[in-house]
Structure 1
């Protein structure tokens, strides 16, 4: 969570001197929803072959050998 806050992905405030963060429920739920949507989009693109990657070998040496 700290990395998300420091990058600015998740708004929060630091309370007291013990390093505790306060994150409001609504922005957290919105962040989680965006993460689900982004993951779904990435998986769909990968499945549809639009990300430029292929499950097929690239004509070179098979890496599993």
Structure 2
């Protein structure tokens, strides 16, 4: 299954929790909103998704496989 990191910038308040928790340094804050710098090195561990208080970042699965 292909997974993709998704950010809903309208919901992000720029708290930076996900930036601090990302083990690969994929996320940064840019103009007070989360930015995905290099998704290719993201290991899709889900720490950002689990700790985001606003549900602004999540890992999306491939729709084609029914998940």
Q: TM-score, normalised by structure 2?
A: 0.28
Whichever of the two has the greater Rg, that structure is 1
The structure whose residues are more often strand, as a share, is 2
Higher helix share: 1
Normalising by structure 1, what TM-score? 0.28
- Using CA pairs under 8 Å that are at least 6 residues apart, name the structure with larger relative contact order, 1 or 2: 2
